[in-house]
Amino acid sequence: MKYVALLRAVNVGGRNAIKMRALKECLERHGFTAVATFIQSGNVVFETGERSSTQLAGRIERALSTTFGFDVPIVLRSWAELKTVVDEAPASWKRANDLRRNIAFLRPPRTARQALEEVETKDGVDTVTAGKGVLYMSTVMTALSSSRLSRLVTKDIYRDMTIRSYNTCQRILDLLT
């Protein structure tokens, strides 16, 4: 089965540095196949015969912690789950050049409904909608400075999510195909 592990809070501001080559090697040493990384923000695709997402996520987090010496929370999605997330993005995103489009992937057991309650938006600038295990967040590019989405980093829910751009999600999906 094909999966993507989205690492949270690595290679941000010089903290929790993980080289993508070392990440790839770590997963290969732990028995995963067809391992490939995509950009420095910690996106790794791989294949495994394992089916339990919960057990698999725990196994990967333990491997990363042992290898790199610090906790590395991940959000794990199968190819099918990621395809659904990308396919169900708001229709307005498909050809939007005037929006910053991000997807916040939530770590179970957090739900999109719970996360949505903590997100502050500015009318006419930010839009946030819930999906299956994700929040679709967009901001009008010409009004980025007045967006309230940056306040998300101060919320409890922020620890249970990792955010990727819509374009990055499309590229990761291409890697899994």
As annotated, the residues of the chain forming the CATH 3.30.70.1260 domain(s) are 82-165
- What CATH number labels 2-81? 3.30.70.1280
Q: Kindly state the percentage of the chain with pLDDT values over 90.
A: 78
111-159 pLDDT, tens digit per residue, is 999 999 999 999 999 999 999 999 999 999 999 999 999 999 999 999 9
Helices (H), the chain: 20-29, 53-68, 79-87, 112-118, 166-176
CA distance 16 to 12: 7
Is the overall model pTM greater than 0.85, yes or no? yes
- What CATH number labels 82-165? 3.30.70.1260
As annotated, the residues of the chain forming the CATH 3.30.70.1280 domain(s) are 2-81
Identify the weakest region by mean pLDDT among 6-20, 53-67, 88-102, 126-140.
6-20
Confidence band of 161 (pLDDT split at 50, 70, 90): very high
DSSP readout, 107-150? PTT--HHHHHHH----TTTEEEEEETTEEEEEEEGGGGGG-SGG
